Every structure is written in structure tokens, then in C-alpha cells.
Amino acid sequence: MSINEILILVAIGVLAGFISGSLGVGGGIIIVPGLVFFLGLTQHQAQGVSLGMMLAPIGLVAFINYYKAGHINIKYSILLLAVFFIGSYLGSLMAVQLPSATLKKIFGVLMLIAGARMIFWP
């Protein structure tokens, strides 16, 4: 890795960590586009890197802070963990079969829909 790549990764990681800790998002919204646009990774590569870095307990410290503040529903978290595990497996089986350009478009449309929904509908 070059110094430039390291600096870009550090910037993406700090921004994603900050946004994840404060808003609960980061991987898809910050890391994936950052890897695609600033490092030239394909959509598949960027999604793979994002998933790889999240496998470790990256969100553990943020989780602890939210738990201490009384903002965690453990039952919801456990159920979501179980179904997220299944969904991520099935989704990855589909995604790796799609062309990178198609996957990138699907990702962009999903971000547009989610953003518009959050901005225009209560």
C-alpha cells in the first residue's frame, strides 16, 4: 500500500466510524462509495472490503456507549443479528453473480430511495 492509499483509507475509516457511531450507518453509505471513488475498487471489491472490516467487533465500543445510555433493545439486537446473518449470506450469493456495473446501480438506487424517504416523509 502506498502512503496515499493509507491516508485515503484512514480518512474513509475515521469518517465512517464517526458517522456509524453517531448515526448508526457507515459501511454502505461511506466506506463502499469511498473505496469505489477514491481508490478505484470495483463495487464487488468495495462491498467485500466493507464486509471484511465489519466482521470484527468494530461497533463494540459504540454499542457499549449506547447500552450504557439505555438505548439498546437486546431482544431486537439478537433477532436482527440472526436474520442479518442469513440475509447477508443469501444476498452475497446473489451479489457475486451480478456484473459490477449492475450492482453499483442497484446500490445507488437504494441509497437514493432511502435518502428521499428520510428527507421527504416523516
Mean pLDDT over the full length of the chain: 86
The pLDDT, as a whole number, for residue 105 is 92
pLDDT class for 55, splitting at 50, 70, 90?
low
Three-state secondary structure readout of 71-113:
CCCHHHHHHHHHHHHHHHHHHHHHHCCCCHHHHHHHHHHHHHH
The residue among 2, 28, 30 whose CA lies nearest residue 14 is 30
Spatial separation of the C-alpha atoms in residues 43 and 92, rounded to whole Å: 12
Query: Are 46 and 54 within 8 A, CB to CB?
Result: no
The pLDDT, as a whole number, for residue 26 is 67
Share of the chain above pLDDT 70, in %: 93
Q: Which residues contact 1 (CB under 8 A, 6 or more apart)?
A: 9
Q: Which residues contact 8 (CB under 8 A, 6 or more apart)?
A: 34, 38, 39
pTM of the model: 0.68
pLDDT class for 29, splitting at 50, 70, 90?
confident
Reply yes or no on whether the pLDDT at 75 is more than 70.
yes
pLDDT class for 4, splitting at 50, 70, 90?
very high
